[in-house]
Structure 1
Amino acid sequence: MAFEARFAENRTRLVSHFDDYKSGALRSATSTRDAQGDGWAKLWEKNEQDLWDRGQPSPALTTFLEEHPYRDTLFQDKTQRRLKAFVPGSGKGHDVALLARHGFKTWGFEIFQGVVDAANENINIYLDPSADHYANVVLGDFFKKDIEAHLGPDFQGFDLIYDYTMRKDWAERMKTLLSPIGVLVCLEFPMWKPLKDQGPPWGLNGVHWNLLADGANGLFDESGNLLGNDQEEGSFERVVYWKPPFSFKQSRGDDMLSVWRLKQ
């Protein structure tokens, strides 16, 4: 009960904080991009990341990388090159470090220098300095070509992108960042929360399919029904849809992990 009370209190504080960053009447489940970025930056400046940071990598992603049958497909590469992974909006870098421990050359991405510094310090605690790991969180705007600038002219796309925040322009950007044979791994959380309820976190039930498979906008009407379903005009196809046996307590047991690849 103490955990549930603390979670509810943190959620209320987050919703209250982002009341000033709402979109319009017919809004997506996120605020406008620039305003929301400013809202998160202000929370970091006030050292209030405890409102959302869980202090560990995603249990769902951990279990997927270690146990799911699709991992054999994921790690199959005849060139023996080192696979590249990307975690946009990586926070303190827990998932960046996790992917690095599994052999990926991994980049995280944040828009606030204070977050970048905290993340790289945290990553250094996670990783054995004597091991051949590569994990780095860099500063930039996800929707501009800042990450490409860090990677250089030979960059040909990521093999794995892990994410849990999205909208229409997010889906288009992911398409440009993913290699032709890469995969996008999404933690779909929270699934229990109605789309029309205030966030963050915003309800996501059906939103990934709406954006990635249908090619819609992730918008919903006043009743909370997604618009543009069943078009199947998106750029992605879903190859895995899996309920992880372990996830954060806040998921209420309803989290899903989905894996997407570009349509051929």
Structure 2
Amino acid sequence: MAQESSQETSRGGRLLNTFADRPVQDHGSGWSNLWDAGESNLWDRGKASPALVDLVEGAGELFDPFTIQGTKKNVLVPGCGRGYDVVMLALHGFNAYGLEISDTAVKAAEAYAASQMSHPSAYHFGNEQSRSSSPGTVTFLKGDFFSPTWDFKGEPNGIRKFDMAYDYTFLCAIDPSQRRNWAKSMGQIIKPGGLLICLEFPLYKDPKLPGPPWGLNGVHWNLLVEGKDGEIRGENIGDDGKEMNSSQTDDGDFRRISYMKPTRSYEQGRGTDMLSMYIRK
């Protein structure tokens, strides 16, 4: 494992101190307080995910932004932060939704999207020709992902079913006791046959160490495919992200269809990030 820089250590310490003695049920307010204090730089990456850009542009019809009925697909990014990936997906033709728990975060994301949808930065594309001639819409929602309702700004029926969802640093930000709720909620908001894309991070961190971010080596497979609680220790994780010597059951709501090391990712992943794709059963 590469030695952490002093900047990374100080950032990690600030996050650890924010949540160390805070009850799990109050963690949402902890994230909101960090946004209100202007400390989103603790986790902000400053651009859309290079790994997700490459996947969307290179996976062919799997990421066609239209359904077979010709309507645009709806994509959710929970814990979307400033909305980099939400905007990128909209620029590639999807109707993209970002969910955040903080009013401050939603306003920051809306301001970012207002400028980027008309004059997008180059990092949204691996190939400028991949920019959709019919971009989708961008909508930011305020709410708790684990709550049964979000603020859909007048749209019907609260939670809708999405064609796709993307997770990068949302799962690693929540307490391990909430991981099963994360998987359950993903199963509830993604349509049968829909996709869940995960850029798995951090895989270099010992799962026994405190977070956030919490180490996730093997956790996605354990939660989504095996239907377990995700509180594994990581000592026996194979190269495919599966827990070795486990029962290898498929009691979860998802089936994994791809597990690969992306050609490009954020430098914070230290070359260990893996990109996984799951289909909702």
In structure 2, the partner of 1:96 is 86
1:95 is paired with a residue whose SS is helix
Please give the TM-score of this superposition, normalised by the length of structure 2: 0.80
Name the Cα RMSD after superposition. Answer: 2.8
In structure 2, the partner of 1:158 is 162
1:252 aligned to 2:270?
A: yes
Per the TM alignment, residue 66 of structure 1 is displaced from its structure 2 partner at its CA by 1.6
**Unaligned stretches of 5+ in structure 1?**
23-31
1:146 is paired with a residue whose SS is coil
Which runs of structure 2 are paired with 1:6-155 in the superposition (5 Å)? 6-21=7-22, 32=24, 34-67=25-58, 69=59, 71-75=60-64, 77-128=67-118, 132-147=135-150, 149-150=152-153, 151-153=155-157
For 1:187-209, what per-residue CA distance to the aligned partner results, in whole angstroms no more than 9, with x for missing partners?
10011111111111110100000
Per the TM alignment, residue 138 of structure 1 is displaced from its structure 2 partner at its CA by 1.2
In structure 2, the partner of 1:29 is none
Q: Whole-Å Cα distance in 1 between the matches of residues 185 and 234 of structure 2? A: 28
In structure 2, the partner of 1:168 is 180
Q: Whole-Å Cα distance in 1 between the matches of residues 261 and 92 of structure 2? A: 21
Please say which of residues 208-217 and 172-181 is displaced more in the overlay.
Answer: 172-181
1:238 is paired with a residue whose SS is strand
1:21 is paired with a residue whose SS is coil
Aligned residues of 2:87 and 2:117 also touching (Cα < 8 A):
yes
Which runs of structure 2 are paired with 1:223-262 in the superposition (5 Å)? 230-262=248-280
Q: Whole-Å Cα distance in 1 between the matches of residues 67 and 134 of structure 2? A: 22
2:17 is paired with a residue whose SS is helix
**Unaligned stretches of 5+ in structure 2?**
120-132, 172-178, 238-242
Greater relative contact order (Cα 8 A, min sep 6): structure 1 or 2? Answer: 1
Q: Whole-Å Cα distance in 2 between the matches of residues 38 and 147 of structure 1? A: 16
2:20 is paired with a residue whose SS is helix
Taking structure 1 as reference, are residues 131 and 237 closer, same or farther at Cα in structure 2, changes over 3 Å only?
closer
1:185 is paired with a residue whose SS is strand
- Runs of 4 or more, structure 1, over 4 Å off, are 129-132, 153-156, 221-229
For 1:54-113, what per-residue CA distance to the aligned partner results, in whole angstroms no more than 9, with x for missing partners?
11111111111122x3x4223173222111100111111111101111111011111111
Which runs of structure 2 are paired with 1:198-237 in the superposition (5 Å)? 198-220=210-232, 230-237=248-255
In structure 2, the partner of 1:28 is none
Q: Percent identity?
A: 37
Per the TM alignment, residue 7 of structure 1 is displaced from its structure 2 partner at its CA by 2.3
Taking structure 1 as reference, are residues 156 and 202 closer, same or farther at Cα in structure 2, changes over 3 Å only?
closer
Please give the TM-score of this superposition, normalised by the length of structure 1: 0.85
For 1:114-156, what per-residue CA distance to the aligned partner results, in whole angstroms no more than 9, with x for missing partners?
1111111111121117974411111122122324855424986
Taking structure 1 as reference, are residues 152 and 55 closer, same or farther at Cα in structure 2, changes over 3 Å only?
same
Q: Whole-Å Cα distance in 2 between the matches of residues 200 and 153 of structure 1? A: 33
For 1:157-188, what per-residue CA distance to the aligned partner results, in whole angstroms no more than 9, with x for missing partners?
21110113331111111111111221011110
Q: Whole-Å Cα distance in 1 between the matches of residues 264 and 152 of structure 2? A: 36
- Corresponding letter in the other structure for 2:37: K
The size of the alignment, in residue pairs, is 250
In structure 1, the partner of 2:129 is none
Q: Whole-Å Cα distance in 2 between the matches of residues 73 and 148 of structure 1? A: 29
Please say which of residues 219-228 and 238-247 is displaced more in the overlay.
Answer: 219-228
